[in-house]
Structure formats: structure tokens, C-alpha cells
Amino acid sequence: MTVSVDASYDCDLFVIGAGSGGVRASRVASQLGARVILAEGSALGGTCVNLGCIPKKLYSYAAHYHEAFAQARGFGWTLAEPEFDWDVLKARRGAEIARLNGVYAELLRGANVQLVRGWAKLLDAHTVAVKTTTHEQRFTARHILLATGGEPLRIEGPGAQWAMSSDDMFDLSPFPKRLVVVGGGYIACEFASIFHGLGSKVTLLHRGPQLLRGFDGEMARFVTAEMRKKGIDIRLESRIAAVERRGEVQRLQLADDSVLEADTVLHATGRRARSRGLGLAEVGVKVNEDGTVPVDAGFTTNVPSVHALGDLVGNKALTPVALAEAMVLIGRLFGEGRRPALDYATVPTAIFTHPQVATVGLSEEVARTRHGVLRIYRSEFKPLQHTLSGSTERTLLKLVVDDASDRLLGAHMVGGDAGEVLQGFAVAVQAGLTKAQLDRTIGIHPTVAEEFVTMRVAASRG
């Protein structure tokens, strides 16, 4: 398909934000023949590459070695006492992220996308100003795409002046011997697991009665118990009443009058769409109270020439979702527009806690509100590895099945490599496969994943 070029504009598509969604949209649009300009004032790759998925997963790998060294003795290995060097890990991570930044720059060059380094702001429905360190440039565009992602919520209240956000955790100096994490979502739980594995004494404070709200309740309770077994002090229905700093130590008084001392306090209590400073109100683009930008099914805002996707629109704050949304939008603007609308209900996700949590489809709680009789299949066991490792870690697998249609509504797992296992079963949920089809599938033995196709007796029905 040949893109019609309107020479009255500087470009066909101006993209603000070089994260996963913005880069994908830029590259694909350019490959389809559109003239594309992309503006970014920070490191290329967005949150995922620089302050999210990639560095967190690298640190999670590092944290697992602590357990692996201990468990190796059960398999006959004799090891000297290992030592961890935080500065080495930070440097290695920094080098890898810098390499990825370069990869993104090369991808844009290879796709003939013009990259402008600076912070962009809308002036009208077809004009963008980009402020660099030395001057301001203005560009006109037939279409403008907002792909600015999200940012951690900055807290107010006790200890706010000393609080760290998730963005701050990768380059802490010195390494915190005592870490308090405030929050109960996936970011809080991941960082609690990571720093505990690296050697911190970690306390996790959450004001609610359960971690990981919105995930299957049984799985959330199970991973909470596993994290506690590993030594993380998890305190539910807990709040900070006051914080006092004595030198480099923070003294936290909780609402129940107990006291904690910490070298670092991480507040991981949520994220907000990065919509401020873009000039949206002046141009007439609607913004929700939570900062997200409402769009239609084709990712267009109420201003027809302005589009948005990714964390900014608030569907699901996941890199693969932003990539998929970019493909839908660019296909509609410059392609044949045949890509189907996204099914957010079947988007899989993983939480890189220790052990991991992975899920796709409906939780048991949500399924009960949308369907009639359910069949719940579950399997809990000690993985083969830990029969010799000495670890008490257990694994839980769960299937949620609609009794009337036999269709698989949800699959959930807590255990080693849960993210890798659930990716395959996400295909089954998205395709609407039935429990009978799973039962006909031969498992790979001996693996944890085979349990998903060998559960024959429902744990409950109703």
C-alpha cells in the first residue's frame, strides 16, 4: 500500500516518546511509506528498557543466584561462601542498557525515522514544538501520536522527602542492608523479592488485606506465603504514621505503634500516565482525572489528528500491549487496517517475584461474576528440583473452566519459570480451547508445565 503524502506538513506522523509503543509505531509507519519524526528527551527505549522490565529482570536473575548457591549443595556441589558486589551488578546492568539504547537508535536509523532529541509539546492539532538544550524547533504533522508512557506516583505524607521510587532503585548507593517497601502491587512485590535475594533485610508494608489486588486471590495468598517462607517480613493492613531520620537511618513508626529502622524506604504505591506538560488541555485533548488519555477503539483521541497508546491510555501497562496497540493504529492510519481489535481479557502477564506468578484470562473471582457454574482444577506440589535442593518452595497451578461450555477461562501459576510456562497456555485461553482439548494434549515429562494437561479431577464445581 502506498501512503499518500501531504506536502503541506513536515511529516505524516510525529511521535512523542521513544518507548516500546512509540518506536514500534515509528518504524512500521516509515516502512509503509510514511514520513516519520520521533521526539524523545530521555534515553531511548522508555521505561521498559531503562527503568522497568529489562533491568528488573536482570536484577531478578542476580537475586536468584543466592538461592541457587545454597541449593547446589543438595546436588553434591561444594562451594566457597559466595560474595555479592552490588557495584559490579550496577555497572554490568548499565552497560547492557546502554547497548540496548544503541540498538533502538540503530533501528530508527535503519527505518529512516528522523529522531529529534528534546521534550515535545503540542501547540495545536497539527503542530509540535520540541525544546532541546539549546533551542526550540517546530514541526507540523498530519497525525500526532502520544506515546509518553507512565511514571511512579510521588508520595505525600510521612517520610516523603526521603522516599525512593522504583526509578531510583537501580543505582542506589550504598546497597541497603535494611529495606522497607511500601505497596502491595507487582512492583512492590518484585523489588521486595529482588533485594531480599541480593541480601537486604526486607519488610513489605501494605495497607490492604491482600497483596496483588486484581490477581486471582488464591494465587496471591499462595505467593505471599512463599515470600514469607523465604524471609520477607510482609505486614498487611499496615500504615506508616511517622518517619524520623537519624543520620542515614530512617525510623518508621507504624500505625500499630511498632517501629522499623531502614536504610532505604521504597514507595511503590502506583504509577501515573505521563500526560502533564504535553499541552493537551490547550489543544483540547481530553484527559481523565488519573492522567490517562481516553481514546476510541482505533486509539484516536477526541481530536481526530491526535492519537495515543500504551501506558498513557491505561488499558494494560505492559510492553507487549503497547506494541500490539501500535500495530493496530499504524495499520489503520497507513496500512490496510485489517488487524482485529485487541482482546485485553486474554493478555498474559507475569510477576517476577520469588517464586514467579503468571496468569492469563479470568481469575476465579471475576469468572464467578461473568459465568454460571465453574470447574476449578488445581495442583499444588514440591517441584522435582526441590526434592534434592533442600528448598521448601512449592508450586501451585490452577485452571478456571466454564462448566457449560468446557471452555478454559483462565490459567494461573505460582512457581519457577511461571512466565515461560504460561506464555504457551495463553494461546489456549486466547483461542478458546476446552478442557477436553487440554486433556487430549500429551505432556512433556518430567516438567512442571505438564501438570496443566494432566489435571483430571476438579477441586471444586459450582
* pLDDT (tens digit per residue) in 89-132: 999 999 999 999 999 999 999 999 999 999 999 999 999 999 98
Q: What is the mean pLDDT of residues 341-360?
A: 96
Confidence (pLDDT) at 340: 86
- Residue of 143, 196, 267, 445 with catalytic role: 445
CATH 3.30.390.30 domain range(s) in the chain: 355-457
- Mean predicted lDDT score pLDDT of the chain: 96
How many Cβ atoms sit within 10 Å of the Cβ of residue 460? 10
Separation of alpha carbons 219 and 46, rounded Å: 30
Please state the pTM of the whole predicted model. Answer: 0.96
Name 151's Cβ contacts closer than 8 Å, sequence gap at least 6.
47, 167, 271, 272, 274
Q: What is the mean pLDDT of residues 46-74?
A: 97
Confidence (pLDDT) at 86: 98
Q: What is the mean pLDDT of residues 237-256?
A: 96
| Closest among 96, 249, 254, 267 to 191, alpha carbons compared | 267
**CATH 3.20.20.70 holds for 355-457:** no
Is it the case that residue 53 has pLDDT exceeding 70?
yes
User: Rg of the Cα trace of the chain?
Assistant: 24
Output 115 or 340, whichever has higher pLDDT.
Answer: 115
Is it the case that residue 454 has pLDDT exceeding 70?
yes
Confidence (pLDDT) at 247: 93
* Distance of alpha carbon 117 from the chain centroid: 26
Tens of pLDDT, residue by residue over 369-402, are: 999 999 999 999 999 999 999 999 999 999 999 9
Contact 18, 114 (CB under 8 A): no
Take residue 179 and report the three cell numbers written for it. 529495606
| β-strand partners of 313 | none
**CATH 3.50.50.60 holds for 160-269:** yes
Name 292's Cβ contacts closer than 8 Å, sequence gap at least 6.
273, 275, 312, 313, 314
Q: Which residues of 43-53 are buried (b: 16+ CB within 10 A; e: fewer)?
A: bbbbbbbbbbb
- Indicate the SS3 state at residue 202: strand
pLDDT band at residue 339, thresholds of 50, 70 and 90?
confident
Q: What is the mean pLDDT of residues 276-297?
A: 97
- Taking phi over 0 as left and psi of -120 to 50 as alpha, with beta for the rest, 404 belongs to alpha
Confidence (pLDDT) at 427: 97
Greatest CA separation for the chain: 72
Separation of alpha carbons 186 and 349, rounded Å: 11
- Under CATH, what is the fold of the domain 11-51+89-152+272-343? FAD/NAD(P)-binding domain (3.50.50)
Q: Residue 36: phi, psi to the nearest 5?
A: -125, 135
**How far from each other are the two terminal CA atoms of the chain, in whole angstroms?**
52
Confidence (pLDDT) at 406: 98
Q: How many percent of the chain have pLDDT more than 90?
A: 95
CATH 3.50.50.60 domain range(s) in the chain: 11-51+89-152+272-343, 160-269
Separation of alpha carbons 42 and 151, rounded Å: 13
Q: What is the mean pLDDT of residues 231-245?
A: 97
Q: Which residues of 219-230 are buried (b: 16+ CB within 10 A; e: fewer)?
A: bbebbbebbeeb
| β-strand partners of 407 | 434
Is it the case that residue 5 has pLDDT exceeding 90?
no
Separation of alpha carbons 136 and 190, rounded Å: 40
Is it the case that residue 2 has pLDDT exceeding 70?
no
Q: What is the mean pLDDT of residues 293-300?
A: 97
Tell me if residue 354 is catalytic. Answer: no
Confidence (pLDDT) at 3: 77
